[in-house]
Amino acid sequence: MKKILFLAALTLLASCQKNDDDTSQDEDRKEQNKALQNELTSNKDGWKLTYIAEDGSTGGYQFLMKFGDDGTVTMTSDISSTTTPTATSYSTQEKNGALVLSFIGQNYLHQLADAIKGNAANGLSGKVYQFQYAGKEGNNLKFLNLLKSSKPTLVFEPATANDWSNIDTFVANLNPITKLTDYYYLKVTTATQSVTYYNVSFDSRVLALKDTNIKAPVAATQEGIAFLSPLTIEGKSFTSLTRSGGTVTPTYSATVDGVTASLFFSSISPEFLSSNDYRDINTSIEGLSIMTQHFKNNKFMSKTFYEDVLKVNNSIDLFMLKINFVDAGECEIQIGHIFAGSGFSIIQVNCEYELKNNRLYLKNLDSRLRSSNATAWNDAKNAAVLEKAKRALGAVYSLGVQGYYIKKKDIVIEPLTDNPVYYLQSHEYPLYTFPAWGVPL
């Protein structure tokens, strides 16, 4: 009996000791959670995180966060065109021996998955963003990003009231380049006034000069944009560009040792502005010609031109467009089509043309229709083709009233591989661009 009572006492003692150990661990866990929460809530203006991919494949995205004692985090960012603060939940929990900060609910961080392209976006589409606390370094809080297999370090810097008031300016400085990238170009002017133009891309906030290896990640500043690693052009390192000009299409520029880099908006490609290729008309070519089936998928053919001028419906395109230049400034605009049962036929209007200001101008339209086979064009079963052809003739003329820019391209388009290829863009309606064979004299 005494032995049984002794064993029972030992069991009770062991049980009490285990409960005491569990209670101690719970208290430690609560203290750890509270300690991190105290850090997160200690700065009245919250924290600033600049998110940059560890491999430099993205620019910087700024996030401002204020953590509340009630488990709510208020956040804003320069990641999109709106800066309206969001309020979602957060938690600090111990997981696998580490303290983890979790963002719960949709906030600006979740937009990274859409804003960033390529491999840098891998792992960013999680519903809960989790950062493992890695300690304090000075006034900064360090975390490891658990969404990425490499667990890159993220740094929360103390935010200021100015950071919150400046976020709208950051967005305003990034929005034009982000939304209108296709119309931004980089102009580089050397000390000797030699000028070079570059087409640019701006994917994931990396400014890249097309057809070169030159690129640099970008972040917004109060004055414009900064390069997180220098943009090196003409042997000069540019660390930032200052914004100037209008609110919708501003210019960003800087000068380093006599070399000026200017990122500017233009609805007309700069290659047209310095081109004299329009002078080839009636000196080396007598016309411009398009066979739709060979041109409609060319990168220089804009969707707007193809659909508004050449496409009849989902199964039929106009077969050919041609502009003939004849003596004394006379011009013929022609549409050619192949009709079932009657073959190829042309319908056309006449006008005059003029070469000036680096452009081909069309003027004085004679809208009378002329055709090589009126019966085919007027056949009821060809009504859709006729209607489209008439609209196309009018469109080609109207697009050229304020002039077409013309640039000879170093490409070939089959089957007429011996014919030069020209690239045209309407001055008044710059979304309308198209390539065409030059018809040799």
Q: pLDDT tens, 123-159?
A: 566 567 899 999 999 999 999 988 777 788 999 999 9
Confidence of residue 24 (pLDDT cuts 50, 70, 90): very low
What pLDDT, on a 0 to 100 scale, did the predictor assign at position 120? 59
| CA 297 from centre of chain | 21
pLDDT at 122 over 90: no
Q: pLDDT tens, 356-407?
A: 999 999 999 999 999 999 999 999 999 999 999 999 999 999 999 999 999 9
Confidence of residue 17 (pLDDT cuts 50, 70, 90): very low
Beta strands in 190-284 (DSSP E): 195-203, 206-209, 215-220, 224-233, 236-244, 251-256, 259-265
Please name each of the domains of the chain with its CATH number.
47-159 (2.40.128), 175-266 (2.40.128), 272-440 (no CATH)
Cβ–Cβ < 8 Å for 177, 89 = no
- Closest by Cα among 319, 262, 314, 322 to 293: 319
- What secondary structure, in 3-state letters, does 283-316 show? CCEEEEEEEHHHHCCCCCCCHHHHHHHHECCCCC
Q: pLDDT tens, 102-118?
A: 999 889 998 888 887 66
What pLDDT, on a 0 to 100 scale, did the predictor assign at position 269? 86
| Residue where the block lists tokens 């560890």 | 54
